[in-house]
Structure 1
Amino acid sequence: MTALDLSSPVAVVGTGTMGQGIAQVALVAGHPVRLYDAVAGRAREAADAIGARLDRLVEKERLTGAERDAARARLKPAEALGDLAGCALVVEAVLERLDVKRELFRALEDVVGDDCLLATNTSSLSVSAVGGALRVPGRFVGLHFFNPAPLLPLVEVVSGYATDAASATRAYETARAWGKTPVACADTPGFVVNRIARPFYAEAFAVFEERAADPATIDAVLRESGGFRMGAFELTDLIGQDVNESVTRSVWEAFFQDVRFTPSLAQRRLVESGRLGRKSGQGWYDYRDGAGRPAPHTAEPADRPARVVVEGDLGPAAELVELIREAGIEVREESGDDRPFAPLAGAGALTLPGGGRLHLTGGQTSTELGDVVHFDLALDYRRATRIALAPSQAASPRTLAEATGLFQALGKQVSVIGDVPGMIVARTVARIVDLAHDAVARGVASAEDVDTAMRLGVNYPLGPVEWGRRLGPWWVHDLLGELHLREPTGRYAPSRALNRQAHLTDAGEDTPS
């Protein structure tokens, strides 16, 4: 089954931001496009707005004047739903209400032919539920574009319970012909991106609710250590707190209030107060005129330690040993077999001149281990520009100063946060990796498509399956296990899929769950 022929008309119902964006994508690809909106006059306004965007593409030399003129000639506002007769594909982008969408598609079936592909751009509703009342449900599919649709490459092609394989394939190939990167996925709550991305927000909000760090510091650590494009607080301010919280709540309820997807009380209060982010002028941050952006907590300069002792395997932080040597600090390595403390989640430790120790966070608190400072996970310790430290209550001022000075000597800014299990980046990444393995095991999407979706849909620096492979499945599994011991609600319990992947790795196999 091939993509729709470019001569085939495509209709878009709903002319808001997403509808206009999808229409522009189909139009620039070469299709005749018909726009319809239930509110009189809006389709004409949307056509004018798309025409203005085409003008800007010409100014930026992304379209020629001739291409723009041809595209404009192919774009037609529709006065009535009946004007969509003869279309080969209709994409719906209306209000996120099941009753509204179902009524629309029932009406469309009386207009278009039985061979017309029907698609919903829903981000949170069940594709099976939207298309469940159709006379020909096999031609119904989800085509979930990401905003702004003309710029973001990802499209989730969602097969509902009744979707024919041929319809899903045609939708997939059409999206690819439009210059998009489609991923095929099953009809489960949140599909791929909105399912697997929940911990990125949830763990940041949990650290804040535990009063371990403020939003600016958490965001800075996620960006500058975790490698994420934006932090959770600034990203939800951009998305809109009401929109983000609504998606989280929808996924949570669709999973029968699974604790892994529990919404944040702090975010709920933000929404209730009307602080919706950039669009309302206030969210986690203040965007009103004259308001300053708060700076992340950054430690004052401290003296570098003269030497460190590396005891055992540092696991995902092993590259620190070479960085410390390059900084001119003496390094002595010991096997760690006779050291009087246990390794954390398979990782060793750095012993500082004063006798205090530095551990990569392993899910415990520092306070459980004495004169210890935990440091957070980094995507790449060489390139990271900030590291978070969490001292125990028993950590001496000297230990914290030496730990701070060590990372500053490596060219990193240091943020000292409260002593919470898993810190910021480690607990976030571990949960994302776990949900990714769980989704693959349940047939939501292939490992390759999961990684593609998370890189392109939300700009993650690595796909979560690949990230887990680099960290080591046992490291992720053990960190979550330690977190689960400290919060035995099920939120952090490692999935069976991750457990299986860890054992497969032990056996020398490298097959994603």
Structure 2
Amino acid sequence: MLRVIAVVGAGAMGKGIAQISAQAGFQVLLFDVNTAAAEKARADICLQWDKMQDKGKLSPHLCSAAKSKLRVVDTLSGLASSDLVIEAIIENLDVKRDLFAQLDEVVSEHCILATNTSSLSVTSIAAKTRLPQRVAGLHFFNPVPLMKVVEVIHGLRTDTAVISQLRIFVQETGHTPVLAKDTPGFIVNHAGRAYVTEALKILQENVADVSVIDQIMRSAGFKLGPFELMDLTGLDVSHPVMEAIYQQYYQEPRYRPSQIAAQRLQAGLLGRKSGEGFYSYPTTPDLSPTIPESVDARWHIPIWISRQDTEAHALLSAFFAHCDMPLDTSTSPSEHALCIVTPFGEDVSTCVVREGLDARRTVGVDTMFASDVSMTVMLNPATDAHLAQQLKRNLSEFNCIVHLIQDSVGFVAQRIIASIVNVACDMSQQAVCSPADLDLAVVLGLAYPDGPLSWGDKLGASRILLVLRNMLDSTGDPRYRPSPWLVRRVQLGLSLLQQAQDAKN
């Protein structure tokens, strides 16, 4: 049973881990090479408990008890009585290895050594220790008291009993443990790659500007757009993680970083912390869409909707009828009709050629993420821009915000979310973690509107697969190749959360 918890490192992460551990009733020893920093951290934690007591979130008895449980020690030897040591120091492999070698000489053989690393291999950290079977990963997220998910990472030589004890410890702190194999990025940092890397690819292709991409992804259900998120995290944090996962997976195309982020990092455009990133601060980014001021007073052009997808055709027909906009219901569009195509993973230009349409009067609509209040309309290089602006203005009269973008495979939301689901499927294929833990970790750790596997099921796994295959065929970019996990479950009509049955001898 774990009774005495040591925390090495009194920065933001160490301070948070010490706080929740003492609150849970564990005896906590806090150590930092800078004893003054450790003392200040303890004072900050006690102040936080006082504030919680004032707000009624912590009783006077529990506040006093927590304070009595937290003690600063000024030497590593002071950690000798520990049952668990959690390292929360600089993200440097050599420095962590040195610390673990020193701890080897201080603590008992029954003491568990855990690293809070977010990007380094737990197996590599454990390799130089005397007892690598007692070393595991225990990855908390910042701010620790508020972020309720903790990744419990099984190194190659970690004893399963150690993992069991760590799971119980995490639960006793009021947090939720998710189990992961020792792989690059573990669960959350791995699963979150596609959201930002695909957005950067879209920006690189000049499909839409930063604010429009963020608006579209907010409309799809995300609390922050990808560029807002990078500004909040800071490119000095997010870009090195992108590069580390890409390199650790030996240049796997799904995780390819962007030169846009690398260049902005070199320029010091880090985000909120530097006062300027993809947006300027301290002002709040204006993500309200622009509405054209002068267009024809009333829409009078007939709208012809492609029948390539019957579900999409029915959805848009009902929507435009509701907006009192005339429909061209003929098999082929009339000479003056606005032609609307509804591609999944393809661009508008491809649809124009395949269906023999007038490119000047053709746009695409993303029906995968369309609603009565938000719609992405994609132009092709020949589209009449005035016509597109007129459509945008008219729909705004019906409280529908239209996001205009340039021709692209998969629009914006389609390609980002299909990529997110695909990465999650491949993580499941690699058995990085269970499908259920993957979804839980992403919802708790990244605040996504749903777990990627559940989301794939809701959107339709077969449709996600269609988007990926069409993007792969159109671009030849292997970043879009579908995961075998996705392909097989679509073939068999299974949920993406469905694990394979264990083989029995």
Per the normalisation by structure 2, the TM-score is 0.89
Q: Go from structure 1 to structure 2 and tell me whether the alpha carbon gap of 1:131 and 1:179 turns closer, same or farther (over 3 Å shift).
A: same
1:199-348 maps to which residues of 2 (within 5 A)? 199-224=194-219, 226-288=220-282, 293-295=285-287, 297-300=289-292, 303=298, 311=307, 313=309, 315=311, 323-324=319-320, 326-327=322-323
Partner of residue 341 from structure 2, selected from 359, 371, 375: 359
Tell me the equivalent position of 1:494: 482
Structure 1 distance, partners of 2:171, 2:284, is 43
1:13-412 maps to which residues of 2 (within 5 A)? 13-224=8-219, 226-288=220-282, 293-295=285-287, 297-300=289-292, 303=298, 311=307, 313=309, 315=311, 323-324=319-320, 326-327=322-323, 354-370=336-352, 371=359, 372-376=362-366, 381-382=371-372, 385-396=373-384, 400=388, 403-404=391-392, 407-408=395-396, 411-412=399-400
Structure 1 distance, partners of 2:143, 2:216, is 27
Q: Go from structure 1 to structure 2 and tell me whether the alpha carbon gap of 1:278 and 1:378 turns closer, same or farther (over 3 Å shift).
A: farther
Q: Is the 8 A contact 2:439 2:453 kept in 1?
A: yes
Aligned partner letter, 1:261? Y
Structure 1 distance, partners of 2:340, 2:386, is 12
> 1:311-342, CA deviations, whole angstroms, 9 ceiling, x for partnerless residues?
364557965555555555677989xxxx57xx
Partner of residue 426 from structure 2, selected from 431, 438, 446: 438
Structure 1 distance, partners of 2:299, 2:149, is 46
Structure 2 distance, partners of 1:508, 1:74, is 47
Structure 1 distance, partners of 2:41, 2:205, is 46
Structure 1 distance, partners of 2:497, 2:106, is 51
Q: Is the 8 A contact 2:457 2:495 kept in 1?
A: no
Tell me the equivalent position of 2:355: none
**1:134 offset after TM fit, Å?**
1.7
Structure 2 distance, partners of 1:18, 1:317, is 51
Q: Is the 8 A contact 1:358 1:403 kept in 2?
A: no
Tell me the equivalent position of 2:406: 418
CA RMSD of aligned residues (A): 2.6
> 1:261-320, CA deviations, whole angstroms, 9 ceiling, x for partnerless residues?
1111011111101111111111111115xx573545534276456875663645579655
Q: Go from structure 1 to structure 2 and tell me whether the alpha carbon gap of 1:193 and 1:319 turns closer, same or farther (over 3 Å shift).
A: farther
Aligned partner letter, 1:218? I
**1:389 offset after TM fit, Å?**
1.4
Unmatched runs of 5 consecutive residues or more in structure 1: 341-350
Unmatched runs of 5 consecutive residues or more in structure 2: 353-358, 501-505
Partner of residue 449 from structure 1, selected from 428, 434, 437: 437
Query: SS of the residue aligned with 1:388?
Result: strand
Structure 1 distance, partners of 2:9, 2:345, is 47
Aligned partner letter, 1:177? E
> Percent of aligned positions with the same letter in both sequences?
33
Tell me the equivalent position of 1:344: none
Structure 2 distance, partners of 1:353, 1:145, is 61
How many residues align structurally?
488
Q: Go from structure 1 to structure 2 and tell me whether the alpha carbon gap of 1:56 and 1:316 turns closer, same or farther (over 3 Å shift).
A: farther
**1:47 offset after TM fit, Å?**
0.5
Tell me the equivalent position of 1:11: 6
Structure 1 distance, partners of 2:497, 2:351, is 34
Structure 1 distance, partners of 2:379, 2:207, is 11
Query: SS of the residue aligned with 1:108?
Result: helix
Q: Is the 8 A contact 1:441 1:497 kept in 2?
A: yes
Query: SS of the residue aligned with 1:373?
Result: strand
Q: Go from structure 1 to structure 2 and tell me whether the alpha carbon gap of 1:462 and 1:320 turns closer, same or farther (over 3 Å shift).
A: farther
Q: Is the 8 A contact 2:302 2:336 kept in 1?
A: no
Q: Go from structure 1 to structure 2 and tell me whether the alpha carbon gap of 1:380 and 1:131 turns closer, same or farther (over 3 Å shift).
A: farther
> 1:130-155, CA deviations, whole angstroms, 9 ceiling, x for partnerless residues?
11122221121111111111001111
> 1:190-215, CA deviations, whole angstroms, 9 ceiling, x for partnerless residues?
11111111110011111111222221
Tell me the equivalent position of 2:450: 462
Q: Is the 8 A contact 2:457 2:496 kept in 1?
A: no
Query: SS of the residue aligned with 2:480?
Result: coil
Q: Is the 8 A contact 1:387 1:412 kept in 2?
A: yes
Structure 2 distance, partners of 1:312, 1:267, is 38
Structure 2 distance, partners of 1:481, 1:404, is 30
Tell me the equivalent position of 2:470: 482
Q: Is the 8 A contact 1:219 1:230 kept in 2?
A: yes
Structure 2 distance, partners of 1:77, 1:465, is 44
Tell me the equivalent position of 1:345: none
Q: Is the 8 A contact 2:151 2:180 kept in 1?
A: yes
Q: Go from structure 1 to structure 2 and tell me whether the alpha carbon gap of 1:448 and 1:332 turns closer, same or farther (over 3 Å shift).
A: farther
> 1:465-511, CA deviations, whole angstroms, 9 ceiling, x for partnerless residues?
11111222221112111211232231111122221122112x89983
Structure 1 distance, partners of 2:287, 2:496, is 45
